[in-house]
Amino acid sequence: MSNLNEGTNPELQACIHCRCPTAKRCTGCLGAPDYDDKPSVSTFYCSFACQKADWPGHRTECRKLQARKSLSRAASLLQDIVYKIRVQTTTLEIKSAHVEGMTVYLNGPLPNPLCTQQMTPFPTHLFKDQAILKSALVYTACMEAMVFLYSFTKELLRDICSEIKEITVSVIKHGLRICFGPAHGLKVNMPQSMYHNVYKVVLKQGEVWAIDPTGAQFGYYEPLCSWKSFQQRISTVDRANELGYIRHKVFYNSAKYPVKFMVSKQAEKEELVKTLEDWLSVWVTLHGGKFNAILQGTEATFESTKNEFLKQLSAHVKKSLARMYMPAEIAKRTEEVEARIAQNQADPISRNEFEGFRKFLVSAMGNPSL
């Protein structure tokens, strides 16, 4: 059973047990999100004695809402993790940005297939609007997010979910569109539907939710939404795979292509993913062995633990990048990259797959940058 708290809204309601007026609510279920037509309603008690007496009746509902609240916190943490990583690891050279109606234009040269392009800090100063900044940060990041988030998601959700899937969907309803390319180049006609990766999770208590950490690129800033309402944004579910499929299978595809900037970007991302996974397991060990303990406590406790975690994560990303770009490390990686490309060029299957991927990119993202 949880504590009693007045929450942020000190309105008076009748104690559910003795009917006397009170502003105190059960903190266990306080602040859980609504689920379709099942709103999250606070339960008021005047005293701990009344709460205790009513517990057998409230327990089931409270636990259900607690799981919802943990999921909502997990989704916000996962989204923030993606933002923190992306803000230090862009590979696009964005020189300017402007908004026309519902389209955000990120202007900059297309990547040169023959060159390598190091991950650099995202040019946040180009964005006055924080929402547009978030959208730009996660532009084409949905697959990468599934890769970076894999171990974080697994640790956060395993106790509350009975099922976690990585879902590839076609998004047809956009709140916003992003276009990347040279400022005065051809305006690309953006396709009606765009591929996108999200999590579909089933809570142990039965509710089905979508976690969309990179939805901001389509104008969806809330990382959690019921699966039913998420379905209104998409036309089809193209693939459903177990958690980890993208991390362990799809992620390595671009390393098979005979294009230098892709292979080198891939080698760098792989290295960063591994160092973050190692860092997470050390962090978890240092903090009592359970990462999902971070989701517990009052809203204020959660916010402060989350922010401290994100601060340490950012510092670690920075440190890892500094090490990765030391001359000796670059030389070592360049050798590996050259060897991989030579192998890829000699392999007709790899060349064919790349051609298929190039066509997919053009149709899926409206960006013929390869």
**Footprint of Zn ion on this chain (CB under 5 A)?**
15, 17-18, 26, 28-29, 46, 50, 62
Q: Which is nearer to Zn ion, 46 or 262 (CB)?
A: 46
d(CA 20, CA 120): 59
User: Which residues face 194 on adjacent strands?
Assistant: 171
Residue 7 near residue 31 (C-beta atoms within 8 A): yes
Residue 204 near residue 67 (C-beta atoms within 8 A): yes
**Amino acid identity at 215:** G
SS3 (DSSP) at 13:
strand
Tell the smallest beta-carbon distance from residue 233 to Zn ion (Å). Answer: 31
DSSP characters over 74-113 = HHHHHHHHHHHHHTT-B-S---EEEEETTEEEEE-PPPPT
Q: Which is nearer to Zn ion, 6 or 277 (CB)?
A: 6
Burial 143-160 (b: 16+ CB within 10 A, else e): bbbbbbbbbbbebbbeeb
Tell the smallest beta-carbon distance from residue 230 to Zn ion (Å). Answer: 26
Q: Which is nearer to Zn ion, 26 or 179 (CB)?
A: 26
Tell the smallest beta-carbon distance from residue 295 to Zn ion (Å). Answer: 16
Pairing of strands 103-107, 177-181: parallel
Q: Which is nearer to Zn ion, 11 or 355 (CB)?
A: 11
Tell the smallest beta-carbon distance from residue 204 to Zn ion (Å). Answer: 17
CA distances from 85 to 177, 221, 322 (A): 22, 17, 14
Q: Which is nearer to Zn ion, 24 or 174 (CB)?
A: 24
**Amino acid identity at 174:** H
Residue 237 burial class via C-beta count within 10 angstroms: exposed 0-12, middle 13-18, buried 19 and up: middle
Tell the smallest beta-carbon distance from residue 56 to Zn ion (Å). Answer: 13
Residue 203 near residue 169 (C-beta atoms within 8 A): no
Residue 352 burial class via C-beta count within 10 angstroms: exposed 0-12, middle 13-18, buried 19 and up: exposed
d(CA 362, CA 359): 5
Tell the smallest beta-carbon distance from residue 57 to Zn ion (Å). Answer: 11
Burial 309-328 (b: 16+ CB within 10 A, else e): beeebbebbeebbeebeeee
Q: Which is nearer to Zn ion, 62 or 198 (CB)?
A: 62
**Terminal Cα-to-Cα distance of the chain (whole angstroms):** 57
Tell the smallest beta-carbon distance from residue 290 to Zn ion (Å). Answer: 22
Tell the smallest beta-carbon distance from residue 227 to Zn ion (Å). Answer: 24
Q: Which is nearer to Zn ion, 66 or 151 (CB)?
A: 66
Q: Which is nearer to Zn ion, 4 or 75 (CB)?
A: 4
Tell the smallest beta-carbon distance from residue 7 to Zn ion (Å). Answer: 12
Q: Which is nearer to Zn ion, 2 or 253 (CB)?
A: 2
